[in-house]
Amino acid sequence: MGRLSRAQLQARNRDRVLAAARQEFAEHGFRGAKVDTIADRAGFTRGAVYSNFPGKRALYFAVLADLAEQAPQAPAPEARDAQEALGALARAWLARLPLADEPEPARLIRDLHPEILAEERTRRPYAQLLKLDAILLGLALEHLTPAPGRQVRLAESVLATLHGARQLSAAAPGFVQPFDVVSVCERLAGLDLGDWWPILPWIPSSADADEVWAAPYARDLFRGEAAHLDGDGVVAVLGLNRLEAVEEAVRAGSPVTAILVTADPDELAPLARLVIAELGACLREAFPPSAWPDVRIVVDSGELAATAGIAGPGDDTEVALRVRDGRIVLRAEGRGACHLAASGHEVRR
């Protein structure tokens, strides 16, 4: 066997830390887990653990994100309408929850929401990640059975039901009745919530461009596979506080690549991976590919943003590029950037 490169060695060490942390969190929960014990399990020093992860919460989010991304692919579903699809979505979601007699998985996930709620810097991005999930689910509902209006608020209600079931399954084992939750989600199909999408009159800064767009492959968390990022359409580089802006580009009818960025990639990027990968896996089990929205979701640690010409991206970043024939032909920044880049409006200088 040849000698490992530095990058390969770092990746192997990181995997060992993640495996050890998963065992520790499963046995003791987040609060009871000890970094020293994780280091011992992995055969490393405490400093070696911190060289891979800046803190216990970042490590915890990374463990859960890896589990979500490794979910097995299910065969293509045959849902014929929204009721069938939402029932299948609920079953896929509930199948990932711990049973009352499975204490270790319950300990692994039960501290997720308390840790998200602990600080504003995690609460606000998490709220936007759920907004993005609702947009993806709402678009899938609209594509499956053409409805007279927007379905995002209905999707928000479905997600509220499913997330509530998860929290209670950890906090009160045995209380959640899975078949009842499935029935509730099925009966939400077709509910008229008077949904509509306001287009606000934002005027972003924008300019014509003629730049090469040479983005590499990246993992599309929504589809769970490698994605080409060089197709025509809109590339939206969005901080975790501005994810709902994706809908502006999608509603204009353009293929969209959303590159999610943050000022705290060590902790918030794994949280983003977790939230998007969870919904993506369940949605793929419930909706046929023909209903999936034309959106690719990539979580970036800064490299793709740099390729897009954005230095120092943060949680409030909102930049949209219109890409045509491998070149950036328009660049917009600020509120309304996604709508402008997707709609083909003339540039305002």
Q: How far apart are CA 8 and CA 15, in angstroms?
A: 11
Query: Residue 30 is part of a domain; what is its CATH number?
Result: 1.10.10.60
Q: What is the pLDDT of residues 285-299, one digit of tens each?
A: 999 999 999 999 999
316 with 267, same domain: the answer is yes
230 with 303, same domain: the answer is yes
Q: How many CA atoms lie within 13 A of 158 on its CB side?
A: 36
Listed in sequence order, the residues at least 6 apart from 142 whose beta carbon sits closer than 8 Å to its beta carbon are 150, 151
Helix residue ranges per DSSP H, the chain? 6-32, 35-42, 46-52, 56-69, 82-95, 103-109, 112-117, 120-144, 152-171, 178-188, 246-251, 268-286, 303-307, 337-343
27 with 121, same domain: the answer is no
Among the candidates 188, 220, 246, a domain finishes at 188
Q: How far apart are CA 85 and CA 349, in angstroms?
A: 45
Is residue 349 pLDDT above 50, yes or no?
no
211 with 270, same domain: the answer is yes
213 with 94, same domain: the answer is no
- Amino acid sitting at position 343: S
Q: What is the pLDDT of residues 49-80, one digit of tens each?
A: 999 999 999 999 999 999 999 877 777 777 78
DSSP classification of residue 208: E
212 with 162, same domain: the answer is no
DSSP classification of residue 261: E
* Nearest alpha carbon to residue 53 among 66, 62, 41: 62
Note down the domain range covering 119: 82-188
The phi and psi torsions of 174 (rounded to 5 degrees) equal 95, -15
Q: According to the model, what pLDDT value does residue 2 have?
A: 64
Is residue 116 pLDDT above 90, yes or no?
yes
> Does residue 220 sit within a domain?
yes
Domain count of the fold of the chain: 3
334 with 211, same domain: the answer is yes
91 with 219, same domain: the answer is no
Residue 136 in contact with residue 295, Cβ under 8 Å? yes
338 with 211, same domain: the answer is yes
> Does residue 331 sit within a domain?
yes
214 with 307, same domain: the answer is yes
171 with 219, same domain: the answer is no
> Does residue 163 sit within a domain?
yes
Q: What is the pLDDT of residues 176-208, one digit of tens each?
A: 899 999 999 999 998 989 888 777 677 778 888
SS3 call for 220:
strand
99 with 161, same domain: the answer is yes
Q: What is the pLDDT of residues 194-246, one digit of tens each?
A: 888 777 677 778 888 999 998 778 999 999 999 888 889 999 999 999 999 99
